């Protein structure tokens, strides 16, 4: 991502509706996965960004991270420096086989030229019986300046993501689109931004100013949908959630 996008992320990730919903999604998914297991486990966040999910993982055990961007590391070092490995998630990460109970890989695969290698490497370091929580942006026709500003390589369909997962041994516990309730407003914003930003340096949707009242309403709406996501699979959405498992017996 561009340097200014990391700066923006660090400034708004505690208050912006998108990050509030994303944090709630990870928290509820983690609680479901760990409800029957020991509390003190070791977890890994692949592509830490500015540290929001790493902070969350620390509430569920010992947490480590993998990050490639030097810009992101400047935000991570003060609180998490000794826990972060500077590495490419699609290459050999510096952890032993079968180490982590939970791996999170949230909006990372779309940045990589070789997403299959990243999925295989995550599988290697995941403990038998462990899980990975994976999110990716969905649907190519949503492509726009947001994706260009964040240096995305692709957006996924559910079927395309499942094909990639099948090549990498992961068992799929569930796979669903999400951010469905807000799909059509977001689609409208993406179409408008394509027209506005032609010939202009692309900027992410996160740079758009959102009034406080609207941000609060969107946060509530997004979190309500995530509660429903515990019981329902959505047929389309702006993103895809996959919960994966490494077989307990190899």
Which has more confidence, 4 or 33?
33
The pLDDT tens digits for 171-212 are: 999 999 999 999 999 999 888 887 776 666 778 888 888 899
Q: Which domain holds residue 71?
A: 3-245
What average pLDDT does the chain have? Answer: 89
Q: What local confidence, expressed as pLDDT, does residue 38 receive?
A: 55
What's the CATH number where 32 sits?
Answer: 3.40.50.150
CB 249 within 8 A of CB 128: yes
33 found inside a domain: yes
As a whole number of Å, the end-to-end CA separation of the chain is: 37
Q: What percent of the chain has pLDDT over 70?
A: 93
Residue 31 lies in a domain: yes
Helix (H, G, I), strand (E, B) or coil at 137: strand
- CA–CA separation, 190 vs 56, rounded Å? 30
pTM, whole model, 2 decimals?
Answer: 0.93
Spatial distance between the Cα atoms of 221 and 199, rounded to a whole number of angstroms:
34
Output the pLDDT for position 28.
Answer: 95
Strands 100-106 and 126-137: parallel
Q: Is 250 among the domain residues?
A: no
Bridge partners of 177, per DSSP, are 234, 240
pLDDT (tens digit per residue) in 34-57:
876 555 589 999 998 888 898 899
**How many domains is the chain partitioned into structurally?**
1
pLDDT at residue 157 greater than cutoff 90: yes
Q: Is the pLDDT of residue 78 over 80?
A: no
**Residue 62, Cα to own-chain centre: how many angstroms?**
19
């Amino acid at each position: 991502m561009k340097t200014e996008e990391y700066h923006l992320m660090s400034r708004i990730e505690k208050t912006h509706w998108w990050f509030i919903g994303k944090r709630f999604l990870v928290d509820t998914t983690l609680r479901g996965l760990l409800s029957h297991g020991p509390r003190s486990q070791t977890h890994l966040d692949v592509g830490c960004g500015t540290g929001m999910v790493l902070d969350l993982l620390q509430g569920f055990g010992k947490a480590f991270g993998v990050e490639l961007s030097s810009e992101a590391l400047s935000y991570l070092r003060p609180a998490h420096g000794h826990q972060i490995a500077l590495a490419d998630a699609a290459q050999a990460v510096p952890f032993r086989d079968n180490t982590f109970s939970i791996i999170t890989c949230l909006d990372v695969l779309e940045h990589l030229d070789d997403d299959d290698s990243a999925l295989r490497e995550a599988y290697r370091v995941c403990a038998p019986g462990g899980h990975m929580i994976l999110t990716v942006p969905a649907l190519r026709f949503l492509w726009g300046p947001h994706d260009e500003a964040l240096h995305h390589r692709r957006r996924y369909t559910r079927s395309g993501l499942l094909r990639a997962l099948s090549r990498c041994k992961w068992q799929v516990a569930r796979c669903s689109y999400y951010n469905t309730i807000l799909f059509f407003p977001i689609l409208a914003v993406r179409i408008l931004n394509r027209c506005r930003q032609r010939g202009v340096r692309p900027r992410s949707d996160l740079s758009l100013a959102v009034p406080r009242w609207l941000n609060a309403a969107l946060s509530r709406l997004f979190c309500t949908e995530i509660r429903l996501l515990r019981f329902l699979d959505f047929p389309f959405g702006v993103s895809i959630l996959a919960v994966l498992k490494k077989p307990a017996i190899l």
